[in-house]
């Protein structure tokens, strides 16, 4: 017993140091000068592009005068200051964004669109409320989060004001840039929770009201007469709402992001893949629903995304549709098809459901976050039943690696939670007497098994998260097992003979 405890604590320490080692290898250990230079060049290109856009009408002055004239020089000084501020902010808040040249280039392009439209409006005399600042801030909020969108919205509003400015005149710039920024903030907050397409129209009306309020307030504060710009401010908000409603799926596809709308659509059990699963693999369908409620509750407990956890769980085993009868939960009374197969052939068939599922998900255009979950839901875990069966048949000549899933290991909180929920759900069906205390010990043992096997090495879960996840699993499982009350005259769960269940032969899969 003492030896087993020592062995467990040794393996736990090894898992902890592996997690630390992963964290260390993921941290930047040295400055890569070439990559740093490339990122600096992208940053410089973004600043130059903004400068040229703001001063597109001064380009005929030539490079020498452009850099010595007071106004362009002032713009350049301001742009450099803004670039340093934004660069430091993004390096702290979004190191991945600043670390990738392509992502930085996309971000820079998004920032320049309102400035370019503002300058064209200023030169052509069109209303400054044609500037799509709200739409751009909305996209930035979807892609990079609300805090980056708020900061970027402020900076781009400043640059938009500069671009709107006519020589010797500042009022238009000030009275338009401020309302545009106010409307953009409505879009930033709105991007956090979009559960219905109609919600985008609502945000549009809220943005329109804010813009009207600030436009009138700005004109009055500057002692101007009220103009028609207030009407344009309202039109801007409403048209932005209508346009974003129409092009939201394109934005999701182009920027590889998911709103809650598309995830909620996928959580509909009438979705074609889910209907096929219910029809051809009813055991897997039921298993996926239970994994969904386990994962959703656990995701809420640790602050992960519960909707992604639930939808990811629904689709995690769709690859089983290729050969549903080979999976224990779909076996009828005819017995296991694996009895006639060699263990290595069985492992190949079982392991293939991961790759098949990812391919089916890609064909159906499911979001990349769901495809990743399908690929990662088993990590590189061992198909123990077939491994041990092969070992008993062939002795020590069996390679463990041939009986492991292809991976990769879970890389997000949601993928790791689904791996644990999958393991716990599949194995819990074998419990003969699932009292809360037994469930607790059972869930703990399975979770520690995954941890000690190194399956949680690449995900950002902490040990405290792992405890919370286990607690929520026990709560949900207790509720599920408690509701399975035996009818009078039939044996209760504890009385049933603990026959060797089919799941145990291949579970968890
Ligand atoms: Fe599963
Ligand atoms: Fe699976």
Do 190 and 138 meet the contact criterion of CB atoms below 8 Å apart?
A: yes
* ω into 408 cis (within 30 of 0): yes
Q: Ligand 1 centroid vs 415 CA: distance in angstroms?
A: 12
Do 313 and 290 meet the contact criterion of CB atoms below 8 Å apart?
A: no
Phi-psi region of 179 (alpha: psi -120 to 50; beta: other; left: phi over 0): alpha
Q: Ligand 2 centroid vs 227 CA: distance in angstroms?
A: 63
pLDDT at site 71: 78
Residue 58, token pair as written in the block:
């001064």
Measured between alpha carbons, how far is 146 from 193 in angstroms, rounded to an integer?
11
Q: What is the mean pLDDT of the chain?
A: 83
The pTM of the whole model exceeds 0.85? no
Residues, Cβ < 5 Å to ion ligand 2: 317, 509
Measured between alpha carbons, how far is 336 from 350 in angstroms, rounded to an integer?
13
pLDDT at site 134: 93
Measured between alpha carbons, how far is 240 from 131 in angstroms, rounded to an integer?
10
Q: What three-state secondary structure class fits 195?
A: coil
| Structural domains of the chain ordered from first start | 38-191 (no CATH), 265-484+493-506 (1.10.3210)
pLDDT at site 16: 52
Give the ligand whose atoms come closest to the C-alpha of residue 420: 1
pLDDT at site 33: 58
Q: What are phi and psi of 447, to 5 degrees?
A: -65, -45
Q: Ligand 2 centroid vs 365 CA: distance in angstroms?
A: 20
CA dihedral in degrees (208, 211, 215, 221; nearest 10)?
140
Residue given tokens 């992604």 in the structure block: 308
Q: Ligand 2 centroid vs 346 CA: distance in angstroms?
A: 14
Q: Please state, as a whole number, how many other Cβ atoms lie within 10 Å of the Cβ of residue 436.
A: 13
| pLDDT < 50: residue spans in the chain | 1-2, 4-5, 22-29, 490-508
Residue 472, token pair as written in the block:
């929520």
Q: What three-state secondary structure class fits 169?
A: strand
Q: Ligand 1 centroid vs 287 CA: distance in angstroms?
A: 7
Count the residues in the chain.
Answer: 509
């Amino acid at each position: 017993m003492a030896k087993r405890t020592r062995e467990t604590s040794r393996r736990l320490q090894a898992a902890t140091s592996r997690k630390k080692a992963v964290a260390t290898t993921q941290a930047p250990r040295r400055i890569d000068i070439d990559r740093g230079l490339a990122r600096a060049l992208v940053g410089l290109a973004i600043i130059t592009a903004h400068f040229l856009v703001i001063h597109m009408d001064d380009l005929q002055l030539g490079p020498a005068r452009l850099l010595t004239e007071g106004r362009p020089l002032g713009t350049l000084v301001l742009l450099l200051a803004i670039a340093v501020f934004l660069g430091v902010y993004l390096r702290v808040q979004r190191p991945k964004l600043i670390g990738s040249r392509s992502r930085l280039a996309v971000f820079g392009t998004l920032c320049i669109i309102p400035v370019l439209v503002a300058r064209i409006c200023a030169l052509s005399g069109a209303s400054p409320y044609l500037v799509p600042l709200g739409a751009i801030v909305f996209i930035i909020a979807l892609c990079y989060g609300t805090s980056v969108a708020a900061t970027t919205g402020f900076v781009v509003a400043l640059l938009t004001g500069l671009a709107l400015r006519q020589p010797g005149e500042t009022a238009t710039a000030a009275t338009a840039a401020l309302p545009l920024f106010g409307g953009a903030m409505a879009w930033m907050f709105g991007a956090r929770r979009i559960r219905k397409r109609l919600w985008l129209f609502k945000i549009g009306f809220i943005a329109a009201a804010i813009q009207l309020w600030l436009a009138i307030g700005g004109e009055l504060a500057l002692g101007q007469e009220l103009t028609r710009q207030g009407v344009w401010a309202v039109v801007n908000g409403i048209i932005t709402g209508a346009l974003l409603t129409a092009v939201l799926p394109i934005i999701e596809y182009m920027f590889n992001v998911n709103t809650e709308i598309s995830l909620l659509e996928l959580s509909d059990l009438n979705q074609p893949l889910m209907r096929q699963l219910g029809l051809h693999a009813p055991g897997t369908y039921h298993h996926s629903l239970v994994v969904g409620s386990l994962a959703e509750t656990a995701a809420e407990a640790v602050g992960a995304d519960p909707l992604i956890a639930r939808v990811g769980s629904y689709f995690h085993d769709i690859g089983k549709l290729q050969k549903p009868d080979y999976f224990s939960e779909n076996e009828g009374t005819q017995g296991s098809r694996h009895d006639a197969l060699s263990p290595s052939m069985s492992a190949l068939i079982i392991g293939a459901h991961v790759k098949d599922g990812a391919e089916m998900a890609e064909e159906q255009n499911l979001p990349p976050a769901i495809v990743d979950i399908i690929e990662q839901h088993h990590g590189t875990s061992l198909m123990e039943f077939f491994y041990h069966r092969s070992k008993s048949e062939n002795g020590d000549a069996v390679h463990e690696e041939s009986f492991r899933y292809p991976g990769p290991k879970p890389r997000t909180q949601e993928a790791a939670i689904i791996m644990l929920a999958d393991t716990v759900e599949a194995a819990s069906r074998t419990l003969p007497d699932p009292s809360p205390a037994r469930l607790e010990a059972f869930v703990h043992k399975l979770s520690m098994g995954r941890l000690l096997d190194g399956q949680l090495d690449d995900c950002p879960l902490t040990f405290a998260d792992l405890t919370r996840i286990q607690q929520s699993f026990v709560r949900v499982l207790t509720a599920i097992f408690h509701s399975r009350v035996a009818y009078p005259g039939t044996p209760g769960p504890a009385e049933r003979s603990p026959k060797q269940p089919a799941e145990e032969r291949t579970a968890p899969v």
